Structure 1
């Protein structure tokens, strides 16, 4: 697989599904689409609601690259960032249906490595497909 490096700006979440579908097609990773789509949806929603405070005039930058089956994603918002963001290892049964908190957990579960640096979430995932 050739190396691909791209960046896209997204304003609000009205067209986020189409942008994510385009990223998956461009990277030719349809076989891994479920995991990658869920990771991106959760990261973009988190950026929009928490980082950009639901302000659709503020951009969300999605940078992505793939090389040797290693997918690297960065989702950057306009927020101030977090000094120490916790990506939970588990969610207790009594919190499974809570409105918030599952997104970071899902990103962590579906990724090899995830960290927040200032206002940008950095995600690495090894792509496994036939």
Structure 2
């Protein structure tokens, strides 16, 4: 799925959740994808709405695999923080990678693609 800018991302995310029948996990998936797509737009594409963001998704058994690819040069290393301060949690900027880490089972950035894995099984 290809996005340009942030105008359609909420509708597209809701479509993915519905297509995969993962309404029980809608909050987590929505949060993960909003943060990943927003990160790709601002940091990878440098807020250029002519550059695409590609979202790939696969439900394999009880595992949801997500990929969010931007059009940037990529990053050498990107740290998904394990903790952040209370002030950072309330700040609009800087908490996205932390939230992705909290709501997924695995998240990593390789070049210009964020790979995210989440178990979608009953707890």
TM-score range, shorter chain: over 0.9
Superposed, 1:51-70 pairs within 5 Å as 51-70=44-63
Q: Classify the secondary structure of the residue corresponding to 1:72.
A: strand
Q: Classify the secondary structure of the residue corresponding to 2:90.
A: coil
Confirm or deny: 8 A CA contact 1:32 1:129 kept in the other structure.
no
Name 1:4's counterpart in structure 2: none
Deviation at 1:100, TM superposition (A): 1.6
Considering only aligned residues, what root-mean-square deviation do their CA atoms show, in Å?
1.2
Render the CA deviation track for 1:58-80: whole Å, top value 9, x for unaligned. Answer: 00000000011100000000011
> Structure 1 CA distance, aligned partners of 2:77 and 2:98?
15
Alignment partner of 2:23 out of 12, 30, 36: 30
Q: What stretches of structure 1 move > 6 A for 4+ residues in a row?
A: none
Q: Classify the secondary structure of the residue corresponding to 2:76.
A: coil
Q: How many residues align?
A: 123
Name 1:78's counterpart in structure 2: 71
Alignment partner of 1:110 out of 100, 103, 113: 103
> Structure 2 CA distance, aligned partners of 1:121 and 1:100?
18
Q: TM-score with structure 2 length normalisation?
A: 0.96
Q: TM-score with structure 1 length normalisation?
A: 0.91
Q: Does 1:42 align with 2:26?
A: no
Confirm or deny: 8 A CA contact 1:32 1:128 kept in the other structure.
no
Q: Classify the secondary structure of the residue corresponding to 2:35.
A: helix
Render the CA deviation track for 1:7-52: whole Å, top value 9, x for unaligned. Answer: x000110011000000001111001100000000000000001100
| Unpaired segments ≥5 residues, structure 2 | none
| Unpaired segments ≥5 residues, structure 1 | 1-7
